[in-house]
Amino acid sequence: MSVKLSEITGLIEKVAPKNIAENWDNVGLQVGSSRQLIERIVLTLDVTADVVKEAVEKKADLIIAHHPFIFHGLKTLAADNEKGQLITMLIKNDIALYVAHTNLDKAENGLNDFLAQLLGLADRQTLEPSNPENFVKLVVYTPQEATDKIIDAFGKHGAGSIGDYDYCSYRSSGIGTFRPRPGANPYIGEIDAITSVDEDRIEAIVPRNSLKQLLIQLKNSHPYEEMAYDIIPLENGAFINQRGLGKIGWLKKPMRSVDFIDYVKKTLNLKALRAAGKMPATIQRVAVCSGAGADLIGLAKAKKADVLITGDLKYHDGQRAQENNFWVIDAGHFGTEKCVVDCFKQIIQAGLPENCPEILTAASSQDYISNY
Ligand SMILES: [Zn+2]
211 and 185 inside one domain: yes
What is the structure's pLDDT at 355?
72
pLDDT of residue 124: 95
Measured in angstroms, how far is the CA atom of residue 229 from the centroid of ligand 1? Answer: 45
Q: What is the mean pLDDT of residues 148-163?
A: 91
Q: How far is the CA of 152 from the centre of ligand 1 (A)?
A: 42
Cα separation values, 29 from 35, 62, 64, 75, 354, Å: 11, 10, 9, 18, 24
Residues 223 and 294 in one domain: no
On whether both 62 and 89 belong to a single domain, the answer is yes
Residue 328 has pLDDT above 80, yes or no: yes
Q: Are residues 325 and 355 in the same domain?
A: no
Q: Are residues 263 and 220 in the same domain?
A: no
Cα–Cα distances in angstroms (integers) from residue 115 to residues 54, 110, 264, in the given order: 26, 9, 11
308 contacts 328 by C-beta, under 8 angstroms: yes
Interval between CA 189 and ligand 1 midpoint (Å): 63
- In the reported structure, the alpha carbon of residue 67 is separated from the centroid of ligand 1 by a whole-number distance in angstroms of 6
CA–centroid distance, 29 to ligand 1, in Å, is 18
Residue 74 confidence (pLDDT)? 85
45-61 pLDDT per residue, tens: 999 999 999 999 999 99
State the amino acid at position 134 in one-letter form: N
**Residue 369 counted as domain residue:** no
User: Could you tell me if 275 and 321 lie in one domain?
Assistant: yes
- How far does the centroid of ligand 1 lie from the alpha carbon of residue 210, in Å? 31
326 and 357 share a domain? Answer: no
In the three-class reduction of DSSP (H, G, I as helix; E, B as strand; rest coil), residue 336 is classed as: helix
Ligand 1 center–CA 295 separation, angstroms: 14
Q: Is residue 30 part of a domain?
A: yes
Cα distance between residue 311 and residue 67, in whole Å: 15
- The pLDDT tens digits for 122-141 are 999 999 988 667 889 999 99
Report d(CA 220, CA 149) in Å as an integer. 10
Task: Tell me the residues surrounding ligand 1 (ion) with CB < 5 Å.
Answer: 291, 337
How many angstroms separate the alpha carbon of residue 204 from the centre of ligand 1? 39
Cα of 337 to ligand 1 centre, how many Å?
6
CB atoms near residue 313 (< 10 Å):
26
Whether residues 230 and 147 share a domain: the answer is yes
In the reported structure, the alpha carbon of residue 333 is separated from the centroid of ligand 1 by a whole-number distance in angstroms of: 6
Q: 114: domain CATH number?
A: 3.40.1390.30
**Segment holding 337, helix H or strand E:** helix 333-337
Distance CA 285, CA 327 (A): 12
Asked if 60 and 27 touch (Cβ cutoff 8 Å), the reply is no
Q: What is the mean pLDDT of the chain?
A: 94
Cβ within 8 Å of residue 6, ≥6 positions away: 34, 35
The answer to whether position 278 is within a domain reads yes
Neighbours of 66 (CB within 10 A): 26
Range 167-175 average pLDDT: 96
Closest CA to 50 of 356, 268, 368: 368
Q: How far is the centre of ligand 1, averaged over its atoms, from the C-alpha of 68 (Å)?
A: 9
Domain shared by 343 and 318, yes or no: no
User: Strands 62-65, 40-44: parallel, antiparallel or unpaired by DSSP?
Assistant: parallel
pLDDT band with cut points at 50, 70 and 90 for residue 75: confident
Query: Do 117 and 249 reside in the same domain of the chain?
Result: yes
Domain count of the fold of the chain: 3
**Rounded mean pLDDT of 28-47?**
97
Assess whether 11 and 85 both reside in one domain.
yes
End-of-domain residue from the set 215, 240, 265: 240
Ligand 1 centroid–CA 15 distance in Å is 18
> Cα-atom radius of gyration of the chain, to the nearest Å?
26
Q: What is the pLDDT of residues 334-355, one digit of tens each?
A: 999 999 999 999 999 999 887 7
Q: Of 174, 208, 240, which residue constitutes the final position of a domain?
A: 240
- 218, 240, 262 - which closes a domain: 240
With a CB cutoff of 8 Å and minimum separation 6, the contacts of 18 are 27, 28, 103
Q: Which domain holds residue 290?
A: 108-128+244-331
Q: What is the DSSP letter of 132?
A: P
Ligand 1 centre and the CA of 135: distance in Å?
31
CA–CA gap between residue 199 and residue 204 (Å, rounded): 16
CA 258 / ligand 1 centre spacing (Å): 27
- Ligand 1 center–CA 60 separation, angstroms: 24
How far, in Å, from the CA of 45 to the mean position of ligand 1? 8
Angstrom distance (rounded) from CA 98 to CA 26: 10
* Backbone torsion region of residue 232, taken as left when φ is above 0, otherwise alpha when ψ lies between -120 and 50, otherwise beta: beta
Which DSSP string do the residues of 87-130 spell out, in sequence order? HHHHHHTT-EEEE--HHHHHSTTSHHHHHHHHTT-EEEEEEEE-
Q: What's the angle, vertex CA 110, arms to CA 333 and CA 205, rounded to 5?
A: 145
Distance of CA 183 from the midpoint of ligand 1 (Å): 62
**CA 260 / ligand 1 centre spacing (Å):** 24
**Length of the chain counted residue by residue:** 372
Query: Do 272 and 294 belong together in one domain?
Result: yes
Residue 371: inside a domain, yes or no?
A: no
Average pLDDT over residues 59-70: 97
Residue 293 CA to ligand 1 center (angstroms) comes to 10
- Tell whether 366 is covered by a domain: no
CA of 186 to the centre of ligand 1 (A): 59
41 by DSSP, 3-state: which? strand
CA of 238 to the centre of ligand 1 (A): 27
Residue 292 CA, ligand 1 centroid: distance in Å? 7
Closest CA to 337 of 111, 63, 102: 111
Mean pLDDT of 274-288: 97
**C-alpha–C-alpha distance, residues 193 and 348, integer Å:** 59
For residue 288, what are the β-bridge partners? Answer: 247, 309
With beta carbons less than 8 A apart as the criterion, state whether 79 and 85 touch: yes
Q: How far apart are CA 372 and CA 366, in angstroms?
A: 15
352 CA distance to ligand 1 centroid (A)?
A: 27
In a domain, 372, yes or no: no
User: Is residue 20 within 8 Å of 369, Cβ to Cβ?
Assistant: no
Q: Could you tell me the distance, in angstroms and rounded to a whole number, from the CA of residue 70 to the centre of ligand 1? A: 14
CA of 357 to the centre of ligand 1 (A): 26
pLDDT on residue 331? 98
Confidence of residue 34 (pLDDT cuts 50, 70, 90): very high
